[in-house]
Structure 1
Amino acid sequence: MIIGIGTDILQMERLIAAYERTQGRLAERILGKEELVVFHQRLARNQKRGMAYLATRFAAKEAFSKAIGLGMRMPMTWRSLQTLNESSGKPVTYYSGALADFMLERNWHAEVTVSDEQDMAIAFVVVSHGTPIVTTHDPSNYIG
């Protein structure tokens, strides 16, 4: 059963400006531990791809917060949701802290997709009730 659907689209230029204005602290405020590692790796290889990663993760968090119906209020926090990639490249959600408890208590899970183009990033999330397709939500199982 579908609980909620969320989507978010953003202009990369605005996110890049905020990242530069905060001298990079924006990434540390938004990204979870494993996401931050991937971000720094991608940024070191190619600044454009690093910023696209930050933008898609920002969009995923916004879309997820809409899908669960809370917005950015507890238990939803920027770093309590991570969108990590399986080895196939499929993005998968990972929850921590109070958000993990919230999702488990309700038997909810989320499917997420993200995409980016030169100047835009988008995310789409569907939150459902029932057994998730992916049963393990251990961030060590995912790659950047």
Structure 2
Amino acid sequence: MIVGIGADLLQLKRLEAAYERTQGRLAKRVLGDEELIVFEQRLKRNHKRGIAYLATRFAAKEAFSKAIGLGMHTPMTWRSLQTLNEPSGKPYTKYSGALADFMDEKQWHAQVTVTDEQDMVMAFVVVSYGTPIVSTFDPSNYIG
């Protein structure tokens, strides 16, 4: 059962301006430990791709906070939610601290997707109750 849906759209230049204004501290305030490692690696290789990564994670946290109906209030904090990627590239959520306890107690699970274009990023989150939503798509059955 779906308990919440959240979306966030963000202009890259606004986030980049905030990152520059804070001399990079924004990333350390918003990203979890694992996200920060990926961000720093991407930023070193390509500044624009690093900023896009930071922006998609920021948008995912905003979308998630809307989907759970709390906004940025305890137990939701910037660093307690991470959006990481499976080896296939599929994004997934990882919780820590009070947010992990909150999600476990409610038996809630989140599905997240993020995307970026030249000047915008978007995140979309669906939170469900009970058994996690799992795709039933089997590519071997696809004919079209």
Q: Distance in 2 between matches of 1:133 and 1:100?
A: 18
TM-score, normalized by length of structure 1? 0.92
Q: Tell me the SS of whatever aligns to 1:17.
A: helix
Paired position in structure 2 for 1:95:
95
Shift, 1:130, TM fit? 1.0
Instruction: Map 1:1-144 to 2 at 5 A.
Output: 1-132=1-132
Q: Distance in 1 between matches of 2:65 and 2:110?
A: 11
Q: Tell me the SS of whatever aligns to 2:70.
A: coil
In structure 2, give the amino acid aligned to 1:84: L
Q: Distance in 1 between matches of 2:44 and 2:132?
A: 34
Paired position in structure 2 for 1:142:
none
Shift, 1:133, TM fit? 5.1
Q: Distance in 2 between matches of 1:114 and 1:12?
A: 13
Q: Distance in 2 between matches of 1:132 and 1:125?
A: 13
Q: Tell me the SS of whatever aligns to 1:132.
A: coil
**Highest CA radius of gyration, 1 or 2?**
2
TM-score, normalized by length of structure 2? 0.92
Q: Distance in 1 between matches of 2:67 and 2:12?
A: 22
Q: Distance in 1 between matches of 2:113 and 2:52?
A: 14
In structure 1, give the amino acid aligned to 2:21: R
Shift, 1:132, TM fit? 2.2
Q: Tell me the SS of whatever aligns to 2:87.
A: coil
Q: Distance in 2 between matches of 1:44 and 1:130?
A: 40
Unaligned regions of 5+ residues in structure 2, if any? Answer: 135-144
In structure 2, give the amino acid aligned to 1:30: V
Q: Distance in 2 between matches of 1:67 and 1:58?
A: 14
Structure 1's consecutive aligned runs of 4 or more residues displaced over 6 angstroms after TM superposition are none
